[in-house]
Amino acid sequence: MSLQTWQEALISAQQAGTLYNTYTTAKTVLPVQSLVTFPANYFYIGRALRITIIGALSNVATSAGTITLQHMMGAVVAFTTGALTFSTTAHTTLPFWMETLLTCRAIGSSTSANFMGQSWIASQCLNISGADTTTSHTILLGPNTAPAVGTGWDSTAAQTLDFWAGFSNSQSGNGIQIQQYIVEALN
């Protein structure tokens, strides 16, 4: 039976983001025009978002470390990929493609609301372990743990959806730049 709903693109990047590098603590990597604010009580149990992010990653060969990607609701990490391992082969601004599905599992005030989230990311800069090949891209799933809901947030107040990235090693050769960003409401 149909729910009589429709899909809608809520926001899309209007410009390329800044190339961020040389930091560790996660921070926003989106251009300000790409932020979308949801009004209070926008979410209901079962409401789903699809977030597509396309950009560039860079990594150093020695002590490249990891990158952690997070979807934020205000100041709360509503979803995280966990630490994704960089390749031990150096790369400069190679493409990545990430898609995340967030489904609202609970609503309410304070920290009652939450999402169930899963994502995949493809990039030659990321690897399960070791050096990459020059002819293929690795596809990683995030998080690499048993599925679980993310940190709770307040759905009774307006919330801004943001995308943050953090590196385990502060290196000028480890970087991220967002080129395309689309948030779609699926129902």
Chain centroid offset of residue 14 CA: 18
Give dist(CA 144, CA 124) in Å, integer: 18
Q: 6, 185 in Cβ contact below 8 A?
A: no
59-105 tens-digit pLDDT: 998 888 999 999 999 999 999 999 999 988 899 999 999 999 999 99
pLDDT digits (tens, 9 = 90+) for 42-64: 999 999 999 999 999 999 988 88
Summarised one tens digit per residue, pLDDT across range 118-129 is: 999 999 999 876
Q: Which two tokens stand for residue 58?
A: 């860079």
Q: What are the residues facing 160 on neighbouring strands? A: 37
State the pTM of this model.
0.94
What would you report as the CA-atom Rg of the chain, rounded to the nearest whole angstrom? 17
